[in-house]
Chain A
Amino acid sequence: MSVVSPSIVEHTDRGPLGRDEMARVLAGDIPPGAYVNLGIGQPTTVADHLPPESGVILHTENGMLGMGPAATGGAIDPDLINAGKFPVTELPGASYFHHADSFAMMRGGHLDLCVLGAYQVSASGDLANWHTGEPDAIPAVGGAMDLAVGAKQVFVMMSLFTRTGEPKLVKECTYPLTALRCVDRIYTDVATFEITGNQVVVRETWGISFSELCSRVDVPLEVGERHVH
C-alpha cells in the first residue's frame, strides 16, 4: 500500500543559488551518456560540472561532437572554437561536420538535451530568448530556434526575476517568441520548475518558500506528488 506525498524540497535556511550552484544543480539532472548542446553564455558553464565518467557528449552547433573544456595558452587554436566563438579543445572520439549536418542533428531530434538562456518562459513552455523587440535592437537568433524545436528535451537556465523584480516565468510571453511549447524544465536561482502539459510543477526552492514563490509569480504553481511505500 502506498500513500501520496508532496514532492518538493524547500531550502529556506539559505539564500538563492549562485550562478555556479545553478550550473551544478542542472548538470546533476543530465542523464549519463546524453548528447547535449549547451547554449551561449551561462548554459556553457554547465560543462564545468559534468565529470568525465558521466559520458555526456557535448555538441557545438558550429560543427563538432565531443567538445572538450576551454582551451588555454598553447592549446588555443583559431580553427577550434565553440558556438560562443571561444577557443575549446577536442576529446578523444570527437568528430567534425558541416553546418547542414550539424543542424540536421538538432532539427532531426537526435540531440537528447539542450540548455538555453531565456528572457521569458510561459506557463505552457513557450520560450522567448532571441530578441527584446525594442525598436533599436538588432535581432540575432543564431541556432536558438533550431535547438528549441529539435532537441528531445529543452532545459532553460535563467534568474527567475529581472533586475527590477519582474518574474520571467509568465502566463504569456511579451517578448518575441523563439518557439512554442518547447521548454521542459526551468532552472533558476530560487527554484526549479517542470512544465508538464498544462501544469508548472515546483521541484525545489532556495531562499524562498513555496508559498512565497506562489505570491511572487503570476502563474499557478503546483507541487508534484510521489508515491511513498
Chain B
Amino acid sequence: MTLLCTSADEAVSGIADGSTVLVGGFGTAGMPFDLIDALIRQGARNLTVVSNNAGNADTGLAALLAAGQVSKIVCSFPRQTDSWVFDELYRGGKIELEVAPQGNLAERMRAAGAGIGGFYTRTGVGTLLAEGKETREIDGRTYVLELPIAADVALISAHTADTLGNLVYRKTARNFAPVMATAAATTVVQVRHVVEPGALDPEAVVTPGIYVDRIVRVPS
C-alpha cells in the first residue's frame, strides 16, 4: 500500500538513528533534495548513506553531511571539484568511507532487492578494492564475491507517480532510483507530478508500485 504524503516531513518521519539510507541521484540529477532537507529537519543521526557521490556544493546530500548526521558513506566517486563538505569531514576523520566500483554499488543493491545473497564479478579483481574478499575461478577466469546492500530506507526522486506508487522517470535523472527502490524496507519518493491510476501507460512504468511506500509531490 502506497501512502500519499502531504509534506516531505511526513514522508521521512520515523527514520531511526543508525539507519542505512540509500540516496538516489548521480551528482545532482535525480537527487531527492526535498526529502534530504526534510531528513535534516527530522534529525536522525549516525546514518550510513549509500549514494554514488558524496555530495555536491552545499545543498542536498552535502547539507546532510554538513549537519553531522552521517557517520559512514558508501559511494563510488566521493572526490569531485565541489565535494568540499565531504573532503573536510573525511580528512578530519569524521566520516567513514567505503569506496565501491559503481557497477558493484548498483548490482549489490539489485541483489538485495532481488533476494540474491551475493554475486561473483570480475570488477575489481587484483585491486585494492578486492582485498580480503573471497575469489573464485569460474570457466578459467577469476571473480570476486560481492555482497548485497540492503537498507532501511531509500530516498529517491521520480518524475511522475500514480497514487498506487507506479513511477516513471525523466532522462538520466533515473540513474540509481529504480534499483534503490527495490533494496530498502521503506522506499520514499519525491515526484513532480501525481496522477490517478490508469493515467500512466502500463508499458512505460519503470518502477512498479509494489516497491514504493511513500510518495510526496514537490513543486518543480
Using a CB–CB distance below 8 Å, which chain A residues touch chain B? 60-64, 77-82, 85, 90, 96-100, 102-104, 106-107, 131, 136, 138-146, 149-150, 176-180
Contact = CB atoms under 8 A, between A and B. Distances in A.
Interface residues of B, number: 48
Main secondary structure of the interface of A (DSSP, over half): loop
Interface in B97-144: 97, 99-107, 109-110, 121-129
A107 B174 contact: no
A143 B52 CA distance: 10
Interface in B165-216: 169-179, 206
B79 A103 contact: no
Given A63-B174, A143-B76, A180-B126, 13 more contacts: A64-B172, A79-B172, A85-B28, A96-B171, A107-B103, A138-B79, A138-B97, A142-B101, A143-B101, A149-B122, A176-B127, A177-B128, A179-B127
Contacts of B3: none
A85 B121 CA distance: 27
Nearest to A102: B106
B167 to A, nearest CB: 11
Nearest to B207: A98
28 contacts: A62-B29, A64-B171, A78-B173, A79-B172, A80-B172, A81-B172, A96-B174, A98-B106, A98-B174, A98-B177, A99-B52, A99-B103, A99-B105, A104-B107, A107-B103, A136-B91, A138-B78, A139-B78, A139-B128, A141-B76, A141-B101, A143-B103, A144-B101, A145-B123, A146-B123, A149-B125, A150-B103, A150-B123
A107 B123 contact: yes
A104 B111 CA distance: 13
A138 B169 contact: no
A145 B124 contact: yes
B217 to A, nearest CB: 17
Given A138-B79, A176-B127, A103 B103 contact: yes
A178 B127 contact: yes
Contacts of A85: 26-29, 80
A46 B21 CA distance: 38
Contacts of B177: 98
B30 interface: yes
A131 B128 CA distance: 10
**A61, A85, A144: residue with the most chain B Cβ atoms closer than 10 Å:** A85
Contacts of A96: 169, 171-172, 174
A146 B102 contact: yes
A102 B177 CA distance: 13
Nearest to A133: B128
A178 B99 CA distance: 13
B27 A146 contact: no
Given A77-B171, A177-B127, A179-B126, A140 B78 contact: yes
Contacts of A80: 29, 171-172
B76 A60 contact: no
A138 B128 contact: no
Contact of A107 (B30, B121, B129, B175): B121
A99 B172 contact: no
A13 to B, nearest CB: 40
A81 B173 CA distance: 8
Interface in B46-83: 52, 76-80
B78 A79 contact: no
A142 B172 CA distance: 16
Contacts of B174: 63, 96-98
A180 B30 CA distance: 34
A180 B27 CA distance: 29
Contacts of A62: 26, 29, 172, 175
Contacts of B9: none
B103 A106 contact: yes
A100 B174 CA distance: 11
A145 B174 CA distance: 22
A100 B123 contact: no
